Amino acid sequence: MKYKLLGRSGLKVSELCLGTMGFGTEAGWGADKETSFAIMDTFANAGGNFIDTANIYKLGTSEKIIGEYISKQDRDYFVLATKYSLKDNLTNPNASGNNRKNMMRSVEESLKRLKTDFIDLLYLHIWDDLTPIDEVLRGIDDLIREGKVNYAAISDTPAWVVAKGNTLAELMGWSQFVALQVEYSLLSRTPERELIPMAKHFGMTVTPWAPLGGGVLTGKYQRGEHGRIKPESVRLNERSTNITKEVIAIADELGISPGNVALKWTTEQGFSSIPVVGATKVSQLQDNLKTIDVKLTKEHLQKLDEVSAIPLGFPGDFFKEEGVKTNTFGGFYDRVEKRF
């Protein structure tokens, strides 16, 4: 296992992050406590230290399982990320949202469930399109000053909001967001339009969620196996079938699993990326851990790029037009060093 620096911080995190949305058996799927403990043992024994959860996962069960596990381990070894914003109950309008009151309440509840007195990385989970971003950053900065949180991060939020927040934080001397969690995989490439260029500009690490498309990219549904993705899911369609076929072809050529190919692709896209990968069985995690030794050639990456390509739309595709490049660079486009 290698360790990467998380964004512009000095924090060292394993090159794979363990997603724990499936810790707990609520909603008819997931790993029970014993299996979740075995998954965390396997991850830690392989050198993994970066664990991702949220207040809402399995209605708090994910955090409780991690808390029980970590309280019997060396807490300091783990870089524990959790999230606030989503509802803990339906009786209080401020038990959800990005507002400061919910942040403080949610963090206190998470600390209890996680049986710890600090969270390493606190994400805003999903943007509510209501709360001023300075309220969020100031709130997390206060938690950092109190010693309850070490670093700030953000997930599922428009690029312009994150950019405004990080610029304000820099001016105000507050802690900036160091990581950006977005759905990113061969099935879901639209973050390439605005979010990923923004993250690169601010030196943030991108932490792709659902890097296996919830399991679709492992090829298991094409093999007729069952999992939590139902046949009517938007993730199972002609496009995802074609992409998965290419992933399987490359995996067969290399003698590795399709999931390894799909996971590796998320780390080879020219920006700092640490996939947050879920597993509900130890064998799945063991397979996913093999990704760290995988090497994809330029030809493999090109094939995967082509089969999963998306239009960037305006202005990304406009900037690529020959006439626009000639006008913008006065004929020197190919001879000028590019920043990103």
Ligand X SMILES: NC(=O)c1ccc[n+]([C@@H]2O[C@H](COP(=O)([O-])OP(=O)(O)OC[C@H]3O[C@@H](n4cnc5c(N)ncnc54)[C@H](OP(=O)(O)O)[C@@H]3O)[C@@H](O)[C@H]2O)c1
- CB nearer to ligand X: give 163 or 262: 262
Task: Print the binding letters for residues 15-54 with ligand X: x by CB under 6 A, - otherwise.
Answer: ----xxxx------x----------------------x--
Considering CB under 6 A, how many residues would be counted as binding ligand X? 29
Residue located via tokens 């000095």: 10
Question: CB–CB of 79/47 below 8 Å?
Answer: no
Give helix then strand counts, H and E, for the chain.
Answer: 12, 10
How far apart are CB 19 and ligand X at their closest, in Å? Answer: 2
Query: Contact 297/303 with Cβ under 8 angstroms?
Result: no
Q: Hey, which residues between 174 and 203 contact ligand X (CB under 6 A)?
A: 181
Q: What is the DSSP letter of 128?
A: -
Find the part of the chain contacting ligand X (CB under 6 A) among 5-13, 107-115, 231-239, 278-286.
278-286
Contact 172, 184 (CB under 8 A): no
110 scored as a contact of ligand X (CB under 6 A) = no
Give Cα 217 distance to the centre of its chain.
16
**List of long-range contacts for 237-244, beta carbons under 8 Å, 24+ apart:** 239/187, 240/187, 240/213, 240/216, 242/307, 243/186, 243/187, 243/217, 243/304, 243/307, 243/308, 244/216, 244/217, 244/219
> In the window 287-316, what residues touch ligand X (CB under 6 A)?
287-288
Q: Does 142 bind ligand X (CB under 6 A)?
A: no
CB atoms within 10 A of CB 32: 13
66 Cβ neighbours under 8 A, 6+ residues apart: 20, 23, 36, 40, 51, 53, 80, 114
Q: Which of 41, 135, 156, 192 binds ligand X (CB under 6 A)?
A: 156
Of 82 and 171, nearer to ligand X (C-beta) is 82
Which of these ranges, 95-103, 137-145, 284-292, 328-336, lies near ligand X under the rule CB under 6 A? 284-292
Q: Is 14 in the site for ligand X (CB under 6 A)?
A: no
Rounded distance between C-alpha atoms, residue 11 and residue 78, angstroms: 11
Rounded CA separation 223/230 (Å): 14
Q: Which residue is nearest to ligand X (CB)?
A: 19
Q: How far is the CB of 42 from ligand X (least distance, A)?
A: 12
Minimum distance from residue 155 beta carbon to ligand X (Å): 4
Quick one: which segment of 167-175, 281-289, 299-307, 320-328 binds ligand X (CB under 6 A)?
Answer: 281-289
Q: Given candidates 136, 186, 277, 304, which one binds ligand X under the rule CB under 6 A?
A: 277
- By beta-carbon proximity to ligand X, the closer residue of 286 and 333 is 286
**CA–CA distances in Å: residue 188 to residues 31, 41, 340:** 25, 30, 21
Tell which one of 7, 48, 191, 259 touches ligand X (CB under 6 A).
259
In whole angstroms, what is the distance from residue 285 CA to residue 258 CA? 14
Concerning whether 57 is annotated as a catalytic residue, the answer is yes
Which letter does DSSP use for residue 72 in this model? T
Closer to ligand X by CB, 23 or 322: give it. Answer: 23
Using CB under 6 A as the binding rule, whether residue 212 contacts ligand X is answered as yes
247 forms part of the interface with ligand X (CB under 6 A): no
Active site residues: 57
Chain residues in the site for ligand X (CB under 6 A): 19-22, 29, 52, 155-156, 181, 209-215, 218, 220, 227-228, 259, 276-280, 284, 287-288
